[in-house]
Structures are given as C-alpha cells and as structure tokens.
C-alpha cells in the first residue's frame, strides 16, 4: 500500500506541529503539504523545522498549493479557516479530518453539507479516552436519572479562544440527549450575581483557563448524599494527533466516491 498523502492546516500551531511530528513518525503516511495563514512565522519554512527535520515540504498560505496531491487534510485551526479549507478540498477531492472547535450551529450545518460531497471526520476530541467517556456519560445519565444534577467542568491553557470547550459541549449534548432534551433548552453557561436556586433539569457548564493545562473534563452527577464524577485528563497532545491519524486512515480506506459525515465513534468502532 502506498503511504497516505496527508496535508496539515495550522502547521505552525500547537496541534499543527504535533500532527506534523505524528505524520513524520508514521511509515504509512507521507506529509504532502502544510498550510498556515499569512503572517505566520512558520510560513515559507520547512514544515519540520520545529523538530529539526527537513521534510522537503514548505508551509504555504496558498490553499491550492498546500492541498495539491493530498488525500486527506487534517485541520486544527479556527472555524473560518476550516470552512475556507473545505471549499478547496471539495474542488480538489480531498477528504478532511476536522479537529477545530468553536463552530456556530450555522457553521456546523455547512460542514454537514460539505460532507454530503466529501467524506469528513469531525470531532471536538480525537482521544480514545474522551470518546469512551462519552459512552460512559450516556450510561451514567440513563442509570442515575433526573434526580442527579449534572455539571460539566473543563480546564484548558490560557491560549484557548473558545468556551466552553468543544469537548464539554459534546459531553453536554450526550447528557442532554440521554435525558430527552437539548442544550439549547437546558444548558446553563453563565452564573453571576443573584442567580436564584438551580433550575431543575439544567446542565451547568464551568470553564477554567490558565497556564499550560492541556485539557481536562469532569462531569459531576450530584445527588442527595452522594456524587458521581467521571473525568478525563490529557497529559499530552499526542493523543489528539494519534486519533487524528486514525481518522485519516479511516477516510483513506473508504471506497472512492463515498461521502458522509463521521465521528470518532465511527473511526474507533464505538458506534
Ligand atoms: N479535536 C481535538 O481533539 C482537539 C481540538 N483542538 C482544537 O484545534 C484548534 C487549534 O488548537 P491549537 O493548535 O491549540 O491552536 P493554535 O492557535 O496553536 O493553532 C492554530 C493554527 O491555525 C492558524 N490559524 C489561525 N487562524 C486561521 C485561519 N483563519 N485560517 C487558517 N489557519 C488559521 C494559526 O496561525 P497563527 O498562529 O499564525 O494565527 C495556527 O497555526 C482549536 O479550535 C482547538 O480547540 C485542539 C486540540 C485537540
Ligand atoms: O484547545 C484545546 O487545547 C483543546 N480543544 C478541544 C476542545 O475544545 O474540546 C479538545 C481538547 O480539550 C483540547
């Protein structure tokens, strides 16, 4: 089997650099292109420079150049960047792994529309642990029932720009669905001042930002006289990069012409 040709967007970013390292370390993958925005210090440099490696691939802001020859784009950037990349992926027939978070409902609908033409994996968290935790959360919410108040607490580094995290929202959606509701109806995202008592059935979110915390999520089921907590803590971004490469392999193995929107549950066979 020839190696899978993978392009990386956000090449100079925290995840972009991690993904380039993971591609270079994977014999079944080959780095075919690297993208970043005009003004990025990574631009026009070798994509392996941060790791002291010569890849022969220079980081470019030219989307057609960066995506030429790619089978799969892995995109961890910003919502507006991801959507611009998808337009060129459609044109060139490139499948996409989307790890970016912070999309609006309308932007998510654009991704779903894109996936009707090009196979796409879209997940707010590529780690195996978080995706297994999503299943545990559904089971816990169903088993514990409405008598337990649900609170989602997430902590991330000081550079993170969206809140709550995409993962916290994905957890909230699973929990809400298990209770037959939605976050639009029952999510509580801010508390300040005289809030009054907790609204029964609400799902609360709390956000911590500081230092270099990679990513931590705790869901509390608070009952009378007891509390169940289910937590996940990332100690390295390598988990996200490994999951992304699993998603790239999943996409590359789909039959030619097969479109569809997939999640990590499909990639990891947890569905
Ligand atoms: N699904 C998952 O498992 C995970 C998801 N994430 C998500 O991935 C995203 C990136 O995270 P992280 O790597 O920490 O962030 P960084 O800010 O370190 O990296 C983002 C990269 O994208 C570039 N960028 C910024 N704006 C645009 C744009 N409009 N178009 C194209 N590229 C752009 C940045 O360039 P410049 O720096 O020059 O602005 C940078 O190279 C976030 O949404 C984060 O929540 C993160 C980890 C795991
Ligand atoms: O920005 C990050 O760092 C992370 N973002 C993702 C999210 O918003 O859920 C995943 C992970 O928690 C790290």
Instruction: For residue range 38-83, list pLDDT tens digits in order.
Output: 999 999 999 999 999 999 999 999 999 999 999 999 999 999 999 9
Q: What is the pLDDT of residues 4-40, one digit of tens each?
A: 999 999 999 999 999 999 999 999 999 999 999 999 9
* CA pair distance 179, 201, nearest whole angstrom: 9
pLDDT (0 to 100) of residue 112: 98
Confidence of residue 271 (pLDDT cuts 50, 70, 90): confident
Atom of ligand 1 nearest to the CA of 126: 3
Between the CA atoms of 83, 85, 90 and 91, what dihedral angle is there, to the nearest 10 degrees?
130
Instruction: Flag whether 249 is marked binding.
Output: no
Domain check: are 245 and 113 in the same one?
yes
Pocket lining: 51 vs ligand 1, CB cutoff 6 Å: no
Q: What is the CATH number of the domain that holds 90?
A: 3.40.50.720
Confidence of residue 100 (pLDDT cuts 50, 70, 90): very high
Domain check: are 100 and 224 in the same one?
no
Distances (CA, A) of 133 to 175, 184, 202: 11, 22, 20
Confidence of residue 1 (pLDDT cuts 50, 70, 90): confident
> Which residue's alpha carbon is at the smallest distance from atom 45 of ligand 1?
101
8 A C-beta contact, residue 252 and residue 95: yes
Query: What are the structure tokens assigned to 224, written together?
Result: 């009378």
Domain check: are 151 and 88 in the same one?
no
Pocket lining: 36 vs ligand 1, CB cutoff 6 Å: yes
Which 8-state DSSP code applies to residue 245? H
Instruction: Flag whether 171 is marked binding.
Output: no
In the reported structure, the alpha carbon of residue 178 is separated from the centroid of ligand 1 by a whole-number distance in angstroms of 31
* CA pair distance 248, 119, nearest whole angstrom: 11
Number of domains in the chain: 2
* CA pair distance 4, 22, nearest whole angstrom: 13
Domain check: are 184 and 254 in the same one?
no
Question: What are the residues whose beta carbons fall under 8 Å from the beta carbon of 236, sequence distance 6 or more?
Answer: 214
8 A C-beta contact, residue 183 and residue 205: no
pLDDT at 127 over 90: yes
Domain check: are 78 and 212 in the same one?
no
Question: Can you tell me the mean pLDDT for 99-122?
Answer: 98
In the reported structure, the alpha carbon of residue 62 is separated from the centroid of ligand 1 by a whole-number distance in angstroms of 17
Atom of ligand 2 nearest to the CA of 124: 9
Residues of the domain holding 166:
128-234
Pocket lining: 79 vs ligand 1, CB cutoff 6 Å: no
Query: What are the structure tokens assigned to 170, written together?
Result: 């994905």
Where do the DSSP E strands lie in 10-143?
Answer: 29-35, 59-60, 72-75, 95-98, 120-122
Atom of ligand 2 nearest to the CA of 169: 9
Domain check: are 196 and 220 in the same one?
yes
H helices of 63-165, in order, are: 63-67, 79-92, 105-115, 128-144
* CA pair distance 217, 247, nearest whole angstrom: 22
Question: Can you tell me the mean pLDDT for 131-157?
Answer: 98
DSSP 10-42: STTSHHHHHHHHHHHT-TTEEEEEEE--TT-TT
Domain check: are 111 and 180 in the same one?
no
Average pLDDT, the chain: 98
Instruction: Flag whether 13 is marked binding.
Output: yes
> What share of the chain in percent tops pLDDT 70?
100
Q: Of the ligands numbered here, which is closest to the C-alpha atom of 14? A: 1
Query: What are the structure tokens assigned to 268, written together?
Result: 């990891």
* CA pair distance 214, 182, nearest whole angstrom: 28
Q: What is the CATH number of the domain that holds 210?
A: 3.30.360.10
Domain check: are 87 and 179 in the same one?
no
Candidate list 5, 85, 114, 160, residue with the active-site label:
160
232 among known catalytic residues? no
């Amino acid at each position: 089997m020839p190696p899978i040709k993978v392009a990386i967007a956000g090449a100079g970013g925290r995840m972009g650099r991690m993904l380039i390292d993971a591609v270079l370390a994977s014999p079944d993958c080959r780095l075919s292109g690297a993208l970043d925005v005009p003004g990025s210090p990574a631009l026009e440099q070798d994509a392996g420079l941060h790791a002291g490696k010569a890849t022969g691939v220079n980081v470019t802001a030219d989307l057609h150049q960066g995506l030429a020859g790619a089978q799969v784009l892995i995109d961890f950037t910003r919502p507006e960047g991801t959507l611009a990349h998808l337009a060129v992926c459609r044109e060139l027939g490139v499948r996409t792994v989307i790890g970016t978070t912070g999309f609006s409902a309308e932007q998510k609908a654009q991704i779903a529309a894109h996936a009707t033409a090009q196979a796409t994996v879209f997940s707010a968290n590529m780690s195996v642990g978080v995706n297994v935790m999503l299943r545990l959360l559904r089971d816990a919410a169903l088993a514990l029932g409405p008598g337990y108040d649900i609170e989602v607490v997430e902590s991330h580094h000081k550079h993170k720009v969206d809140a709550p995290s995409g993962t916290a929202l994905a957890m909230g959606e699973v929990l809400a669905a298990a209770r037959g509701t939605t976050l639009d109806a029952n999510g509580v995202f801010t508390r300040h001042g005289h809030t009054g008592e907790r609204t029964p059935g609400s799902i609360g979110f709390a956000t911590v930002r500081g230092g270099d915390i990679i990513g931590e999520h705790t869901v509390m089921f608070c009952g009378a006289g007891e509390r169940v907590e289910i937590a996940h803590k990332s100690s390295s971004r390598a988990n996200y990069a490994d999951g992304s490469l699993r998603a790239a392999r999943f996409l590359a193995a789909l039959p030619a012409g097969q479109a569809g929107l997939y999640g990590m549950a499909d990639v990891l066979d947890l569905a």
